[in-house]
Structure formats: structure tokens, C-alpha cells
Amino acid sequence: MKFIVLPFVLASCLGLGWAVFVDSQRRSELDLPVSEEEIVAVEAVGLVTRDVEDALELVGSLEAGREVEIRSRVSGQVTELTVDVGDEITAGQELVRLDSAQEQELVRQAEAARKVALAEQGAQQLRVNAAGLEYMRQKDLRSKG
């Protein structure tokens, strides 16, 4: 039964395909008038060789995922920037150098004030020693009496 059905199906497909082919050939041979709606005007241009650049211009904005505020412990005039915008930095890394002339002057003044204080302390110590000696002398004189 299988052997009878298979050739019959193949013959039917071939016959149907042949009918469609013949019909399409017959229609193409007939010169049917073309309506004006089907006519499309086309302008032909010459072929030009040129480079094509892949360029894409976009407008947008960027926003940082995390913002960090960096502050100096002291104020002063910046003399040198050691990093640029966008550089990665680590904790403790030097970012700027400040003019240290003002701070150095303050240190010199503090050292001078320290020396003056030490000199005054030495003078006071001499006075204390002299007062102690005077006390001992007065005590001796009083005991001798």
C-alpha cells in the first residue's frame, strides 16, 4: 500500500508544479497594458568613488558614581599640582604642593619665641637661686643672731 501512495503523491506534485510553470510563462508572454499607477519615475546618477567615514556625534552627560571631597589640612597658595584630572589616586598620595614660605616664617618666629622663653626661664632660675641663697644667708644670720 505504501508503494502505491508514494508514486501517486510524487506524480501529483510534479503535475501541479508543471501547471504553475506553464501558467506563469503564458502570462509573461501576454502583453498586458501597464497602468500609469504602476509607472515609477527614476532619476539615474553616475557612480562616484569617495571615502566614507564612520562618524557618530552624540550628545550626553556623564555623572560620577561616587563623589569625594578633598580638603587640605592647612591653607596656602598652590605651587604645584602633582596629578591631573581623571588620574587615579591612592590614600595618602601627594596631590598638590603649597607655598611653605609663610609657614617657615611662622616656625622661625616660634623658634625665636622659644629661645626668648628659655632665656627668661634661665633668668628666672637665676633669680630663684639668688633668692634661695639670700634665704639661706638670712636664716644663718638669724640663727647666729
Task: Read off the pLDDT of residues 75-87 as tens digits, 9 standing for 90 and up.
Answer: 888 888 898 888 8
pTM above 0.75, yes or no: no
Hey, CA dihedral for 48, 53, 56, 57, is it positive or negative?
negative
Give the tens place of pLDDT for each residue, 86-143: 888 888 888 888 888 888 899 999 999 999 999 999 999 999 999 999 999 999 888 8
Residue type at 55 in one-letter notation: A
Residues 6+ apart with CB under 8 A from 79: 97, 98, 99
Mean pLDDT value across residues 46-72: 85
pLDDT band, residue 1 (cuts 50/70/90): low
Residues 6+ apart with CB under 8 A from 89: 83, 95
Domain boundaries, the chain: 118-145
For residue 31, the model assigns a pLDDT of 59
CB-based contacts of 123, cutoff 8 Å, min separation 6: none
Q: What is the mean pLDDT of residues 9-37?
A: 80
Q: Is the pLDDT of residue 35 over 80?
A: no
Distance separating alpha carbons of residues 38 and 84, to the nearest angstrom: 67
Question: What average pLDDT does the segment 1-29 reach?
Answer: 83
Mean pLDDT of the 48-56 span: 86
